[in-house]
Amino acid sequence: MSSAVAGTSARRVVISITALFVLAPILLITYQSFLTAPFFDPKAQLSLWAYEFVFNEPDFWRALGTTAMLAVGMTAISVPLGALLAFLMTRTDMPGRGGFEPLLLVPIFLSPIVLAFGYVVTIGPVGFITVWWKQYFGNPFWDIYSFTSLVVIAGLTHAPHVYLYASAALRSLPGDLEEAARVTGAKPGRVAMDVSLPMITPALLFSGVLILFLGFEVFGLPLILGDPQGLLVLSTYLYKLTNKLGVPSYQLMAVVVMVIIAVALPLVFVQRLLLRTAQRFIAVRGKGSRTNLVALRAWRWPAFLLIAGWFAGTVMLPMTGLVLRSFVSSWGLGINVLDVLTLDNYIELFDDSEVVSAIVNSVGIATIGGALSIGCYTMIALAQHRWPSAWVRFADYIVMLPRAMPGIVAGLAIFWVFLFTKPLAPLRTTLLAVWVAYTLVWLAYGLRLVQSALLQVAPELEEAARVTGAGLGRAMRDVTIPLIKHGMLAAWLLIMLIFVREYSTAVYLLGPGTEVIGSLVVSRWGSGAVDIVTCLSCINVALISLGLMVTLRLGVKLHG
């Protein structure tokens, strides 16, 4: 009995630590929201004052309203666009499908803030395209800093999320359903509308809620594109609130965080519910026989141009602009690009010790930190593995909670936890705090990657080790872990990409020793250092591209 108990208590310890790790920041935020001053202030008292203050702020309501409109607006663009991309890619004879396949998911791995910089330097008021346009056509018809631009850019860049789920659903559709419709006389367009679309409704519904949820979380795009016009969403409102009253107004920030969590949490659970339905739908259908592709005929090239245009607008345009801007010394009306080309920006970059350590830290936190995070996620997944117990159901809910905390919120919460817990205080200014925040924010995602690898392990393989005499821990070490090694490697690569991309989580933790590329560009953009920001962004994109190439090269699927 002893070894079974030992195994069980190890599981309990892991789950308890996870719960502590997740709940401590949330409880601290909740506590802080009911105080009249920051928690470290001896004069702080329990009260509803902060709630009253925030709820009487017109700016808060405006930010909430803007957030809702942004979320709905971008959903309205992403879902139809993503579904169309998925249909064209999986179901038609559109030319160039094979080449687009890996490219379509790229925007998911690009940092939104980097994309936003890219848009600013190309189609912003003095962007390359804008300047060029002015020379030939006069004033441009667009305004990058308008709400409409924000919605359109957010919608275009989030379409791959929809594509991901819609294409998976379409691939699992048995082709004979569509062929049956063709036989009865329906044209391809009709088939898509009458058969394919209704069959993937659960997947679309899920991705709709996902985009809505991501819309509530966006930070980078509105920070860069909304700020000049004073356009605030909840996350940027929170960011601006830091010094509302002249002193750190933690209590007000805590209230805003509570509002964000209160909106996000139900969306997280709705997603969970919808995902189950969508997966059941897919599972029941099973793998369909390979079908004849829908012939687009005259529409082949227009369809190709649509996808190429989308990719050009969402990835190529901002990235090209960004790279170009990083190689020019200055830019404005009447300047010839060839006259101002230079490497100085990059050379100067490496004189800036903060920038250098940001790059080193980013790489370190992605590789070593990412490996450690996967180690933690694996421990949690193994603690839950094949253990029918109330503890596991509890852990299932616990790990969902951080999803309701956007990066900026989680970063703030971890910052507070390190400030609040005296023994941890010295670690606040180290990379460890950043790593903890990253690990927390991506807990649900990373755990799912490991869990899906564990699902592939047949239970008898582990049981066979048990009956031949191995204890629980030994069986996991000798059988389970070797069998999920490839899954763990894939998870590590994906987490690495995501940690390099991450920008909002480390914003509040930024300080000497804790700078990473993401948080540094946010702060440098605030001080107007465009040269450094574009160079750093390019380095960020280069690192991600490198990671993506390795990942694809190793045959890892970009979606867990």
Partner 1 sequence: MADLAVDNLRIRLGGNEILKGVSLTLRRGEVAALLGPSGSGKTTLLRAVAGLEQPYTGTITVGGTTVFDGAAGINQPTEARGLGFVFQSYALWPHRTVAENVAYSLKIRGVAADVQRDTVQKSLDSLGLGKLGHRFPHELSGGQQQRVAIARALVYGPTVVLLDEPLSNLDAKLREEARAFLKELIERENLAALMVTHDQSEALAIANRILLLNGGVVEQAGTPQDMYNAPETLFVAEFMGSNNHIEGKIMGMSDGRASIRIGDFLLDGQARCAPEKVGQAGSAVIRLEGVHVAEGSNGGQNHVKLDLVTSMFLGHTWEHLFRGPGMTIRTHHDGPLSSGAHWLHLPADRVWIF
Q: Which of residues 2-31 bind partner 1 (CB under 8 A)?
A: 3-4, 7
Q: Which of residues 210-229 bind partner 1 (CB under 8 A)?
A: none
390 in contact with partner 1 (CB under 8 A): no
Using a CB cutoff of 8 Å and minimum separation of 24, what contacts does 326-329 make? 326/531, 326/534, 326/535, 326/537, 326/538, 329/531
Question: Which CB, 154 or 476, lies closer to partner 1?
Answer: 476
Report yes or no: 177 and 151 within 8 Å, Cβ to Cβ.
no
The count of chain residues that interact with partner 1, using the rule CB under 8 A, is 23
Q: Which of residues 39-78 bind partner 1 (CB under 8 A)?
A: none
CA 82, distance to chain mean position in Å, is 17
Question: Which CB, 268 or 476, lies closer to partner 1?
Answer: 476
Separation CA 52–CA 256 (nearest Å):
12
Least distance in angstroms from the C-beta of 485 to partner 1: 8
1 in contact with partner 1 (CB under 8 A): yes
Structure tokens at 175: 């082709």
Least distance in angstroms from the C-beta of 4 to partner 1: 4
Among 58, 298, 458, 555, binds partner 1 (CB under 8 A): 458
Q: How many CB atoms lie within 10 A of CB 236?
A: 23
Question: Which CB, 7 or 406, lies closer to partner 1?
Answer: 7
Structure tokens at 537: 């962004």
In the numeric block, the tokens 């920030």 are attached to 253
Question: Which CB, 340 or 455, lies closer to partner 1?
Answer: 455
In the numeric block, the tokens 């801007």 are attached to 325
Least distance in angstroms from the C-beta of 7 to partner 1: 8
Structure tokens at 340: 């101002």
Separation CA 92–CA 85 (nearest Å):
10
Question: Which CB, 490 or 558, lies closer to partner 1?
Answer: 490
Separation CA 450–CA 267 (nearest Å):
23
Element spanning 453, H or E = helix 443-455
**Looking at this protein, which amino acid is placed at residue 347?**
I
Question: Which CB, 81 or 488, lies closer to partner 1?
Answer: 488
Query: From residue 320, how far is each of 145, 306, 329, 502 by CA, in Å?
Result: 20, 19, 16, 21
Least distance in angstroms from the C-beta of 474 to partner 1: 7
Question: Which CB, 3 or 148, lies closer to partner 1?
Answer: 3
**Looking at this protein, which amino acid is placed at residue 379?**
M
Question: Which CB, 423 or 469, lies closer to partner 1?
Answer: 469
Would the CA dihedral through 167, 169, 174, 178 be positive or negative? Answer: negative
Question: Which CB, 102 or 473, lies closer to partner 1?
Answer: 473
Question: Which CB, 1 or 284, lies closer to partner 1?
Answer: 1
**Looking at this protein, which amino acid is placed at residue 423?**
P
DSSP codes joined into one string, 261-273:
HHHHHHHHHHHHH
Structure tokens at 429: 């200014």
Least distance in angstroms from the C-beta of 430 to partner 1: 38
Question: Which CB, 3 or 229, lies closer to partner 1?
Answer: 3
Separation CA 437–CA 430 (nearest Å):
12
Angle formed at CA 328 by CA 325 and CA 331, multiple of 5 degrees: 80
Angle formed at CA 247 by CA 243 and CA 250, multiple of 5 degrees: 70
Least distance in angstroms from the C-beta of 11 to partner 1: 14
Quick one: which segment of 356-364, 369-377, 453-461, 495-503 binds partner 1 (CB under 8 A)? Answer: 453-461
Torsion, Cα 474 477 478 480, to 10 degrees, reads: 110
Least distance in angstroms from the C-beta of 496 to partner 1: 25
Window 146-165: contact mask with partner 1 (x via CB under 8 A)? --------------------
**Looking at this protein, which amino acid is placed at residue 390?**
A
Least distance in angstroms from the C-beta of 481 to partner 1: 10
Window 406-445: contact mask with partner 1 (x via CB under 8 A)? ----------------------------------------
Least distance in angstroms from the C-beta of 308 to partner 1: 43
Query: From residue 61, how far is each of 233, 265, 321, 471, 538 by CA, in Å?
Result: 10, 20, 35, 57, 36
φ, ψ of residue 527 to 5 degrees: the values are -95, 10
Question: Which CB, 3 or 47, lies closer to partner 1?
Answer: 3
Least distance in angstroms from the C-beta of 9 to partner 1: 13
Least distance in angstroms from the C-beta of 475 to partner 1: 8
Q: Which of residues 313-372 bind partner 1 (CB under 8 A)?
A: none
Separation CA 489–CA 481 (nearest Å):
11
Least distance in angstroms from the C-beta of 2 to partner 1: 8
| b/e sequence 393-425, b meaning 16+ C-beta within 10 Å | eebeebbbbbbbbbbbbbbbbbbbbbbbeeeee
Question: Which CB, 421 or 456, lies closer to partner 1?
Answer: 456
Altogether, the residues listed in the chain come to a count of: 560
Least distance in angstroms from the C-beta of 462 to partner 1: 9
Window 460-499: contact mask with partner 1 (x via CB under 8 A)? xx-xxxxxxxxxx-xx--xx--xx----------------
List the one residue out of 157, 183, 177 whose CA is nearest residue 77: 157
Quick one: which segment of 65-73, 285-293, 299-307, 457-465 binds partner 1 (CB under 8 A)? Answer: 457-465
Q: Which of residues 273-292 bind partner 1 (CB under 8 A)?
A: none
Structure tokens at 259: 């509002």
Question: Which CB, 339 or 478, lies closer to partner 1?
Answer: 478
Least distance in angstroms from the C-beta of 165 to partner 1: 30
Site residues for partner 1 per CB under 8 A: 1, 3-4, 7, 458, 460-461, 463-472, 474-475, 478-479, 482-483
